Amino acid sequence: MPTLFEKIINREIPADVLHEDETCIAIRDIAPQAPVHALVIPKKVIPRIAEARREDQEVIGHLLLVAGQLARSEKLDDGFRIVINNGSDGGETVPHLHVHLLGGRQLRWPPG
């Protein structure tokens, strides 16, 4: 069964697309936790970061570079946070690796 993100990638579910290339798609989160909350999602299904393999290294690096580009385009000059959830205790709700880009306000530490 396709994940929610596969359905977005396949345009079965609409999304506010911020970026797309052959490796990933970036969308605005529908339940934002900050003024800027984007998700950078690989088109290749990697269930979670703990299951990534050596051959996924280039894809994961690309996701981080795209998140940085989005941060610049969203003018997050004062800072931002990148989050990757893993497993239920880590806040993972969709079993398809994705990077959260959060910014536009002061983010607190520790999170959660």
Residues with catalytic annotation? Answer: 98
Q: Is there a cis peptide before residue 14, judged by omega within 30 degrees of 0?
A: no
Residue 12, both tokens:
């079965």
